[in-house]
Amino acid sequence: MIGIFDSGVGGISVWKELYGLMPNQDFVYVADSAYCPYGQKSAGEIIERAKKISEFLINKNADVIVVACNTATAAAIKYLRSHFSVSFVGMEPAIKPAAAESTSGIVGVLATAGTFKGSLYLNTLTKFASNVKVIELTGDGLVELVESGKTYGEEVESLLKKYINPIIDAGADQLVLGCTHYPFLVEAIKKISNNTLTIINPALAVAHQTQKIINEINIKPTKNMGTSIFISTGSVNTMKMLVHNINHNISEQNFIMQNI
């Protein structure tokens, strides 16, 4: 079984890619919506939540756990790998492909404050972005919009313009999505930018890395043949909507509210 968790519903954008690659694997997804957003929380708080959720997923027999949250990856992935024996896959800042593909030499990154402060992001920036100018914008309020089920419309576009317009005005041609909630805003971003930005979502690369680990440890699909269970520490309403937009065949019984 592959465990997945995020501060909320954003990691469903990662589940989508995982499920697309490995539809016969079982997944348990945990949205920590009762504690969302993680962006303004301390590293200690995020580590404690990541620890509890990982223990929960391991008790559900997870063979691999995907930390489908950039902020949680930045704060907690080293701790998780040092305290648990299962394999963990985190979100990688997609600076390398953005820098390589940019023709203007200017790259925009939209992320949370926690991601920008993380050593993983800073190391990636130093290693791969020395030849480009990077415009960093903290997308305050965007996670909350997605959590409330708002992924398009006037309110979404109004807030996005605050972050996207400075990136466009700076001459960027690449936009790195540094939060798993943001892929649900791609259509609104395309509208605002008039499709002038190449939008880079690292979710597919994370799914490929997870598949590689599954193959290396020789985990076979179970007799359940591809069951996905979605658990939330808060409301499941937005999660249902987003999952059903991806796959209408997921049963209502696969959504559970549970304290963790």
Q: Check if 36 is active-site.
A: no
DSSP 103: S
Cβ atoms of 176 and 107 closer than 8 Å: yes
- Location of structure tokens 């490995």: 22
Q: Which stretch of DSSP H or E encloses residue 55? A: helix 43-59
Please report the beta strands in the chain, taking only residues with DSSP state E, as ranges in sequence order: 2-6, 27-31, 64-67, 87-89, 106-111, 133-138, 174-178, 198-200, 228-232, 255-257
Cβ atoms of 137 and 161 closer than 8 Å: no
Q: Check if 69 is active-site.
A: yes
Q: Which residue among the candidates 89, 164, 179, 188 is catalytic per the annotation? A: 179
Q: Which residue among the candidates 50, 69, 137, 236 is catalytic per the annotation? A: 69
Cβ atoms of 67 and 5 closer than 8 Å: yes
- 37 prior amide bond cis, ω within 30: yes
Give the other-Cβ count within 10 Å of 217's Cβ.
Answer: 11
How many Å apart are CA 174 and CA 176, to the nearest integer? 7
Q: Where are the alpha helices (DSSP H) in 129-230?
A: 142-147, 154-169, 186-193, 203-216
Cβ atoms of 15 and 185 closer than 8 Å: no
Name the residues annotated as catalytic. Answer: 69, 179
